[in-house]
Amino acid sequence: MQWRRQPTLIEKLDLLVRFWELRVRYEALGMPLDKHERLELLSLLQLVASGDESPPLEIIDTSRRGIPVQLTAGSGFLSGELKDLAYDRLIVTTAEPLPSGHRTIVYLADAVTGVEYTLPCAVAASRVGSPCVIGLAPDGLPLRAHFTVPSSGLWRSPLGIGRTGNPVEA
């Protein structure tokens, strides 16, 4: 029997973000997909349809380490950890619950690959506890972007002022 490595949470997220992006563009926004994107969407649909069902919030292992995330909440932000995800749901633990139906944006960054994700979601379910467990349903067009960290000792204007390509030494 050959051992097969399970995908990491960030690898699974990356795949699902692409699936959600294509699905939203196809279904909700009415943006036409080219031939390759349609084939990719069908392939991803088959892949996610063959996956496991989302576990109930009650059996989520909150002691397992997750990926740090930030969520918009009211007039500020709420820190949490992404614990699990499936094609229809993200499981996040936080210090405070969010009410069902609340719309939020989940932000997370992967420093290893230099990719950041912005995921619009709606609270599908919430369990009060220590920590609180929140089930989020993807609700909009996710964004996936690369970020770069400037070289040590170099400063670049966040406003884009000045010539590009000429960093200023600190």
Label each residue of 34-85 as H, E or C. Answer: CHHHHHHHHHHHHHHHCCCCCCCHHHCCCCCCCEEEEEEECCEEEEEEEEEE
CA distance 140 to 55: 23
Q: Helix (H, G, I), strand (E, B), or coil: what is residue 121?
A: strand
Give this prediction's pTM. Answer: 0.77
Q: How far apart are CA 167 and CA 129, in angstroms?
A: 48
With a pLDDT cut of 90, the percent of the chain lying above it is: 38
Q: Hey, which CATH number is domain 9-51+66-146, 3.40.50.2000, 2.40.10.220, 3.60.21.10, 3.30.70.20?
A: 2.40.10.220
Percent of the chain at pLDDT > 70 equals 81
Neighbours of 38 (CB within 10 A): 13
Could you read off the pLDDT of 39-98 as tens digits, one per residue?
898 898 888 877 767 777 777 777 888 899 999 988 889 999 999 888 889 999 999 999
Q: Where are the domains of the chain?
A: 9-51+66-146
Q: What is the pLDDT of residues 95-125, one digit of tens each?
A: 999 999 999 999 999 888 889 999 999 999 9
